[in-house]
Structure 1
Amino acid sequence: MLKQLASKSANGFDWIDISDPQHDELHETATRYNLHEELLDDSLQSDHLPKYETMRDYVFMIFRIHTESKAMEADTVQLLTHKIAIFYSKEFIVTIHRKPHALIDTLAALVTEGQCTGSFHLLNNIIKACLLTYDAPSRDLSRGLEYYEEQIFLRTRKVPLLKGMYFLKRKVDLIRRMLILSYDIIDNIDAEQGDVNTRDTRDLYIRLQNIYDALSDNINHLLSLYFNVSAQRTNDTVRILTVFSVFFMPLTFIVGIYGMNFEYMPELQQKWAYPTVLGVMAVIVLLIYLWFRRKGWL
């Protein structure tokens, strides 16, 4: 669906927004503003990564914004992000996206109220609004990280920790990748006509990048701690089982001897043989216990 959200007569520049693009709408817009066909093809690719490309009369960029999906197992570019393609010049802005986005309506309201002084100002606001879609997810991911830390260190109940941490790591790494690939867009916008607004956008970008870098480091450390704690718990279990086996090995040896079916075993005919053997077993257990205590193994 094609909408004209700003016009040269009223705002000094044209803003054409196309959601769920159709062939005739794209062809009409491309003809009107002399847009390259290959760039239009890029704008229709749902999994295209962020890019910045300078043409003779305009600039083409693709920015990916975070979706509102809450699915734990969403870990791909298509599931976690949506694409917005932007054609920009001083005379016009064309935005192309498959799904409607609230940020477009918010920015359209700013244009209507006269709060955008030109196409570059609007472009900066679009990029800033796209960046802000990563702000709330960073807090959700931080809370998820804190939850898994609590489960690892403070809880004993069973939860699918490894699976949850895997998807958490995938989300953080994917968002970091989107931000890294978006650097050229931020850098070129701030370098072309840099002002207070573009520097504010760059500061937002740097803050988000630092947040997701820290999240990535923390989740990697948490995974290492998870495996170390799991190994430690396994070692504790093996140690306990080893202690029990050490206690029972000599007792099993004695029982094995007197369980042999030989006809001549003198001890079997003695009146005090049974309590004597039990006493010997008790003494052996006590000596093993004292030895373990002395070594600090119990």
Structure 2
Amino acid sequence: MAESARELLQRLLARGDGIAVDGGRLTLAPASGHPVPAEWLSEHERPLITEAARLAGVEPLEYVSYSVGNYGPSKRGGVSLQFRNLTDGSERYSVFNVETRRNRTTKHGKKGSPLPAGQFRITTRFKFYGFWLSTGLPVPRRLSAFHDYMGKLAGLVFTGTAADGERLSDVRPLSLCNADLLELMGVNLPDNSRTSAGQLPDNSRTKLPDKEIQQTQQPRGIQPIQTTGEKKHGNTVIRERGYKGTPIPPQEQTNEEWLACYERAG
């Protein structure tokens, strides 16, 4: 019988692994010191994040698409981001004000004429700019070129407050620290294990952006949806415990070999 995401999360935490959701991505620092195969992370990242969010009482949202239009009686320009709830598949959206017309005359069109379909422009004063900075994704050199970068949002898991039906406010990358997960799962580690899992050197934490293992900074505390009644937060960081080697170099192991070594090291 396949192991559920909840059972896997419980097992990882119980063995002292440093696991968290940092800026919409899973971070994992095995207590064994073994590097985590990208294939394993790719398979388990979303289920683990979804389970962690469910326990915390917040919505885990994946980015689906965007659209640009002119909304309301005043026909103000806006970009609408569509999201899907990873727990139940329900749809959500968030709208940001943007400019949909040219601000000067060029060879491509006159000032005030509509931008091509799907394109928009902003300045650093727009809320969309602050939202993009919160993702940690690269900022386009030209603030009128975001349409070429929107697909990068699909690599993150978001959350927000759905106070008005399907419309989100305060949409942001999901963050949930290791201490939150230990508390939510009711895992009580020995004091020495908790200390080891509580502080992680920056060059030792593993997460998966674009199916690659990279270094990360300290996870941010979660800001839960207020309607859930759950308020879990914190900024505890995680540290791996040392491990003195494996017979086969981790980068040369198959996924099955890595898992076997991982189990022995636990």
Give the TM-score normalised by the residue count of structure 2.
0.25
TM-score normalised by the chain length of structure 1 = 0.23
Higher RCO by CA contacts (8 Å cutoff, separation 6 or greater): 2
Which entry has the higher C-alpha Rg, 1 or 2? 1
Structure with bigger helix share is 1
